[in-house]
Structure 1
């Protein structure tokens, strides 16, 4: 499995040479994505300003994180493949998860190859802990179903924070060979410049 992880990293480096540096939007309509991937996800996180904001409220600082999903032309399985839709929505209070709504079962066949983009809104608080939590949850869900996320693309200014937050969940850049499949997250910056493969270390 360790050899497979290294081969996958090499393959995704080649595929990501163009698309990982692009400014992809929430509609996930991008010709390079169409050519290189079977599916794509987009994480949009923002403050819920004024939500539950009353004198006795204990949940007045709320964050909404949407996971938008779109099957791409390379992996067509339905007539409406061009439509991006909200797959899951997470709610956080002080960066701690307090709620989740799944709008649909994800329709991705095993071994289909995709990419995840993370894009916090400009001018808002740093929500890297919430983003890392959602990334890990999504990656575990995909991994259980044998679905391959080649890259998780984050803004370059958030890369160090993401690395630190992933370590809280047991993901580190050093590979320790273990029996059986090993979960990994391949993090890439936008714009280009940072690239690292993080492996889950059981009992870290």
Structure 2
């Protein structure tokens, strides 16, 4: 049986499903679990099949703060929402879920913004990725630069964990396009939580290290004044981080 993450990967949850429907499906799932041996993952595909389907309307990405708007060739936008009723049954291995949508827009040859497109849909449980659906290939121009912008959402720790993990997951995609990320931009009230989450993922604000170290730089700012920090990813083979 494939892992839960592999099953969820190919599924897009239906945006307009009512909470009552989710609860009903949750009961069906729980009933199936008792039949197929409680806790079994065999019924998860059935639940996702019933919940999934409709394409979501794409919300246009708004303008960046003025000092970042002019220099950006593209913008990746992240939004999150809780999915507390999805796969909610006794001993569920993936409930509650957090859904993260990644959309993006690029400038055309005339310098105008093209329409916003959906790039990926991700699902997280306790800050760990449990599923991914890629809607299309990310096409950022070579030698271009841009911004990852995190949209305002609940300041719950689960959503901040999911959003920060998604930011870091997008870094290789940007570099594979031979593009440059200028900043990751958070709402000001989420910055301190993001700072804490980054440290758990080995992104540190450090001045020096000992031993052999590989670094990756991430510049994090707030959408209003007050937060502007550089983080360095540390994969230390020998030695230790010196604060």
TM-score (norm 1): 0.74
Aligned to 1:82: 114
CA distance in structure 1 between the partners assigned to 2:110 and 2:214 by the alignment? 25
Aligned to 1:23: none
- Deviation, 1:148, is 0.8
CA distance in structure 2 between the partners assigned to 1:166 and 1:75 by the alignment? 37
Aligned to 1:13: none
Greater shift after overlay, 152-161 or 47-56?
A: 47-56
Please list the CA deviations of residues 13-42 of structure 1 after superposition, one character each: whole Å capped at 9, or x if unmatched. Answer: xxxxxxxxxxxxx51242856632100011
Report SS of the residue matched to 2:87. Answer: coil
The answer on whether the counterparts of 2:215 and 2:235 sit within 8 Å (CA) in structure 1 is: no
Greater radius of gyration (CA) = 2
1:121/1:91 CA distance change after superposition, 3 Å: same
1:66/1:50 CA distance change after superposition, 3 Å: same
Aligned to 1:15: none
1:109 aligns with 2:144: no
Please list the CA deviations of residues 149-193 of structure 1 after superposition, one character each: whole Å capped at 9, or x if unmatched. Answer: 101111112212211211222211225599998421110012211
1:43 aligns with 2:78: yes
The answer on whether the counterparts of 2:126 and 2:161 sit within 8 Å (CA) in structure 1 is: no
Aligned to 2:126: 94
Q: Which structure is higher in strand share?
A: 1
Q: Which has the higher contact order (CA 8 A, sep 6+)?
A: 1
Residue 224 of structure 2, aligned match among 178, 191, 201: 191
1:169 aligns with 2:222: no
Report SS of the residue matched to 1:196. Answer: strand
Root-mean-square deviation (CA, aligned residues, Å) is 2.9
CA distance in structure 1 between the partners assigned to 2:123 and 2:201 by the alignment? 19
CA distance in structure 2 between the partners assigned to 1:102 and 1:130 by the alignment? 17
CA distance in structure 2 between the partners assigned to 1:193 and 1:48 by the alignment? 31
1:202 aligns with 2:227: no
Report SS of the residue matched to 2:151. Answer: strand
CA distance in structure 1 between the partners assigned to 2:108 and 2:214 by the alignment? 29
1:156 aligns with 2:188: yes
1:66 aligns with 2:101: yes
Aligned to 1:133: 165
Residue 28 of structure 1, aligned match among 41, 44, 61: 61
CA distance in structure 2 between the partners assigned to 1:136 and 1:158 by the alignment? 16
TM-score (norm 2): 0.63
The answer on whether the counterparts of 2:151 and 2:187 sit within 8 Å (CA) in structure 1 is: yes
Q: Which runs of 5+ in 2 are unaligned?
A: 1-58
Please list the CA deviations of residues 62-115 of structure 1 after superposition, one character each: whole Å capped at 9, or x if unmatched. Answer: 110011111124786xxx952111111110112221111111111112220101
1:114/1:181 CA distance change after superposition, 3 Å: farther
